Chain A
């Protein structure tokens, strides 16, 4: 497995992960649907996960891959909370458009 990962040079991973991350950031910035924003955030998190795994293989240090598992657990919990919030918001406002959610202001 580790050898397979190493067939692809490290800078390819870097470019791919950066691209994924940027797609995530763009999604967060331009989308108005809260569900999609949440998905974009997941994309950003997973791009980092992939990068961690790649570097772990590259440096022969398994710690990076352990990290990935931790991040996955935390991300799952976070998504659960995020989705729950979105469900509650939908129940009260019948919308998950973030532009409608502008009640919390001065």
Chain B
């Protein structure tokens, strides 16, 4: 049992080492076998862990785990009274994340075999992907903040490496650097939060901190500071306002990377971290309010931008930001299971959407502009089917998975405030709108790309289609894992995660409204009707009227222009932060470095040369002169000594 746990992260690491050190010498067939196989093995082990954990829960009293969930590997370091063990925490929450990371990761790896098949950096790609999975596993398995932080930093590194995977393109490199720097800002918050945690609790282990925290009363100022700092980390990693601008640019990486790192796993690390530290957050209601504001604003803001984007991957990226906003919204309402549920279903349908988009891009030889697509339904039937399922799932149309998870979050919002619920619902409607816009513009209508390319459009190979179908099935049926009682379900996920969130109920603020089943039905009906209306509007705009977003539409109104240009956030950051920093560094370069430091350095050299040039004429070569100088000097020393003594 114990051996299984550390074997799970070991296999991806081994895969990375073999592929990374073997580099180009390993043939592609073997490399793809190693790359996918290692993740597959980890997935199998995770399933075994999962089955064991369900046995434990069913066979023991409610909300009690029989064995200790912490598995100690070795002591990482020990300084003074700070001891950091390298240990893994295996509880339902981390097992859920393990299943998502290795499961969705495995599917995406299989897909990558086809997608990256013609790329010369094939082995490097799989090495980096395996390394990413390794770090992601450390992140979710760590039993203390420092181990989590290794994973946290490691996934950031892999994200950087994979965004800049095609490093010959300077724009891609710039996008990679942008992602790295944005993440670094967040990581600083995470690090400071850890320091504050240590000074407060004298420990960094989850178990010790959380059991101490359970005895505290809410509203503690230190708690607010800790949770806010950790949330800054989550903002950076999970691309929330104001640190979200890196995610759309991160689409420069290969599409499987976008699916795995920038949709399904890494960007959800922030959600996982807050769910893991839920007790700390419940102790800080002020932070919860901040999260509510940030997440709600992000969800709406990103959805608005997504409506006016024309790059298929950028639309999906803004959609990811928006959906992450919903997860944080759920967290801030105390609906941790709801957030984790949405995280799971989002991993399914967003990975599906990205992979389907990848299949599309693959078929069109790298074309990503939806204005040059259209009419692909008949040519890419399987891709169309899977993309359709993904779209329906993310839009929240029952009975697909996105409906249940989003509904659960919206319901938890409704319990607290109707105003917030209205705003969140508008965001959900926008999701349906931009997703169907994307669907209509790509697969329906007439082909708008270059005519000579039309004949070369082909469906992707089986190795890409099978992962798509698997994810499509998961996206369609994923809602089953936490079917609410309203639909005759048994909320399996909630019961499974209950031991993790046990003992936190006392801190969750009581709901303002108690929701009757009838109200719930009514809310669902309202949402579904409005989503239907959104789909119809999208249909009439882009199907019936065959509107294609072009320059004329952009000129139309101030608000449209604002949306098309992503609210000029990048430009604002450029003007407020990037430009002044560059200006300051140029000043340092021109005045301090070349003006002062360089002059001092070259000045020293010049003085030495000048002295040498002048003094060397003393060396006349006349032995008699040397003798005179020698004796004169000796006499001078003697006289000096006499005078002194």
Contact = CB atoms under 8 A, between A and B. Distances in A.
Interface of A: 25, 28-29, 32, 37, 98-99, 101-106
A95 to B, nearest CB: 13
29 contacts: A28-B627, A28-B631, A29-B624, A29-B627, A29-B628, A29-B631, A32-B624, A37-B627, A98-B622, A98-B623, A98-B624, A99-B622, A99-B623, A99-B624, A101-B621, A101-B623, A102-B620, A102-B621, A102-B622, A102-B623, A103-B621, A104-B619, A104-B621, A105-B619, A105-B620, A105-B621, A106-B616, A106-B617, A106-B619
Closest 4 CB pairs of A and B: A105-B621, A102-B621, A98-B623, A106-B616
A28 B632 CA distance: 13
B573 to A, nearest CB: 63
Nearest to A31: B624
Contacts of B622: 98-99, 102
B520 to A, nearest CB: 101
A37 to B, nearest CB: 8
Nearest to B630: A28
A104 B620 CA distance: 8
A25 B631 contact: yes
Interface in B556-613: none
Interface of B: 616-617, 619-624, 627-628, 631
Contacts, number: 30
A32 B624 CA distance: 8
B271 to A, nearest CB: 77
B373 to A, nearest CB: 81
Given A101-B623, A103-B621, 6 more contacts: A28-B627, A28-B631, A37-B627, A98-B622, A101-B621, A105-B619
A28 B624 CA distance: 8
Contacts of A25: 631
B358 to A, nearest CB: 75
A25 B627 CA distance: 10
Contacts of A104: 619, 621
A72 B628 CA distance: 26
A59 B621 CA distance: 45
Contacts of A98: 622-624
A99 B621 CA distance: 9
A97 B628 CA distance: 16
Nearest to A102: B621
B332 to A, nearest CB: 82
A98 B628 CA distance: 13
> Which among B619, B623, B631 has the highest number of chain A CB atoms within 10 Å?
B623
Contacts of A99: 622-624
Contacts of B617: 106
Nearest to B624: A98
Nearest to A105: B621
A102 B623 CA distance: 7
A102 to B, nearest CB: 4
A91 B425 CA distance: 110
B70 to A, nearest CB: 78
Contacts of A103: 621
Nearest to B621: A105
Nearest to B613: A106
A29 to B, nearest CB: 6
Contacts of B624: 29, 32, 98-99
